[in-house]
A and B are shown apart, each in its own frame.
Chain A
């Protein structure tokens, strides 16, 4: 049974913000399946990538000579868009799947949970979650979140 479906359109202005979501699990449901996809996962357009990469490098070097630790801006391509999911239930933080994956599936029951999450005390009730937009470099990035109860 579908508990939640959201479609998102993000831009670089949404970087470093969170998108909250919430869904309700009824009594008797044994497991939830959270599927989240976003696209694109990486950005290679030099016009978009190089200015922020150079900014990060300038910030890194500060007043130190670059020859002390040479780096090539090209070596940082492609840049990844990074979006992760965190969950909490009944005021208890369950965890976060902090990794680069553009197609994610997380299965959670009271006994087991996918990597990054702890199982909740009980499944039934209101769930809260957040999408963490660590980095959106692409001009537009679309996301699709589906939560199903089984």
Chain B
């Protein structure tokens, strides 16, 4: 199994982006991504070009659409069929997500706490989700400077509230890329044997995703019998050995080593930091975990701002 950087949120001239589809795929390839998801606003008209461009660039294409409604934006990945975004009222979102799932699609909430109308239309999530278990993923980091933005703090808070309630919901990062620029972005990494559309979607669904704005922090659990559990998996409560890896050679074309530096690794269990560790390249630690969830965060500096969360894993679930 390997960690692959993928971009799950992009736009082109098929909606309000400046990129052509070819330019987008090429830019993603140059940055070091292995897969790119085209999620234009309310349209799939760019997908035929996505498949052609991805084949030329040896990239994995992920078809998507970004529901761009008055009550929120929702990323819908690889729906086989179509659920109409139009006319869905705030209280009807559960039925819409159920329809997307019947069509084998994944549904994720984009930038839930972004600046709203009249600055960005419909960006703040106002849909009234009754069944949070049905939401496949939550974009906790959005656009540039993601570790340091208030919308990220609020999205992480919502995510932890849902995890504490027992929901299994995957945190993702989205560049929401519209055009070439020189901003500082975070990255989404998926765990896969071989990278294919199916393995990316499986990782999103299963929570086998890490987010990093610089060095990549990954985690796995080791049971007492020596077998391994990946993030997103469930392990029995009790004594668990955790293996942590920190890799600062990832995505070298998209962040500066001197500007994103690691200071401390924190293990977060049910919302509380239970362990602080040095940012070593590889280490193992034993924890006593009760039922709930366990995640690893990397704290460090991000382009001049100290003590930011610069990487995080999705949780291992504990029962």
The contact of B116 among A56, A93, A100, by CB within 8 Å, is A56
A98 located at the interface, meaning its Cβ lies under 8 Å from any Cβ of chain B in the complex: yes
- Enumerate chain A residues within 8 angstroms of B87, measured Cβ to Cβ: 18
Q: How far is the CB of B195 from chain A (nearest CB, A)?
A: 28
Q: Which single member of B14, B41, B86, B150 contacts A18 (CB below 8 Å)?
A: B86
Given contacts A59-B116, A76-B119, contact A99 B16 (CB under 8 A): yes
Count of chain B residues with Cβ under 8 Å from any Cβ of A? Answer: 32
Q: At the interface with chain B, which of A23-31, A109-117, A141-149? A: A109-117
Q: List residues of A (23-75) whose CB comes within 8 Å of B's CBs.
A: 49, 52-53, 56-57, 59-62, 64, 68-69
**Is the contact region of chain B dominated by helix, strand, or loop, or is it mixed?**
loop
Interfacial chain B residues near A62, Cβ < 8 Å: 113, 150, 154
A interface: dominant SS? mixed
Instruction: With both chains docked as a complex, state the minimum distance between the C-beta of A149 and any C-beta of chain B, in angstroms.
Output: 21
Residues of B within 8 A of A98 (CB): 15-16, 40-43, 68
Q: How far is the CB of A93 from chain B (nearest CB, A)?
A: 5
Mask: chain B, 130-154; 1 = CB below 8 Å from A; 0 = not: 0000000000000000001111011
Interface residues of A in 70-86 (CB under 8 A from B): 76, 79-80, 82, 84, 86
Q: Which residue of A18, A69, A80, A82 is within 8 Å of B149 (Cβ)?
A: A69
| B151 and A117 contact, CB distance less than 8 A | no
Per-position 1/0 for B211-242, Cβ under 8 A of A: 00000000000000000000000000000000
- Listed in ascending order, the chain A residues whose CB lies under 8 Å from chain B are 15-16, 18, 49, 52-53, 56-57, 59-62, 64, 68-69, 76, 79-80, 82, 84, 86, 92-100, 113, 115-118, 130, 132, 134-135, 137
Residue contact A60 to B70, C-beta cutoff 8 Å = no
Q: Which residues of A contact B42 (CB under 8 A)?
A: 84, 86, 95-96, 98
Residues of B near A92 (CB, < 8 A) are 82
**Do the beta carbons of A82 and B45 come within 8 Å of each other?**
no
Q: Are A113 and B119 in contact (CB under 8 A)?
A: no
A118–B199 alpha-carbon span in the complex (Å):
28
CB-defined contacts of B113 to chain A, threshold 8 Å = 60, 62
Are A117 and B117 also in contact (CB < 8 A) when A18-B86, A69-B149, A98-B16 are?
A: no
Distance in Å from the Cβ of B173 to the closest Cβ of chain A? Answer: 18
Chain A: which residue is nearest B82 at the CB level? A93
Tell me, rounded to whole Å, the shortest Cβ–Cβ distance linking B165 to chain A.
20
Assess the A134–B121 pair: CB atoms within 8 A: yes
Q: Indicate if the CB atoms of A53 and B70 lie closer than 8 Å.
A: no
Tell me the bound Cα distance from A135 to B40 in angstroms. 19
What A residues does B154 contact at CB under 8 A? 62, 64
Question: Once bound together, how far apart are the Cα atoms of A86 and B82, in whole Å?
Answer: 14
| B118-A60 in contact (CB<8A) | no
Establish whether residues A118 and B116, one from each chain, have CB atoms under 8 Å apart when the complex forms.
Answer: no
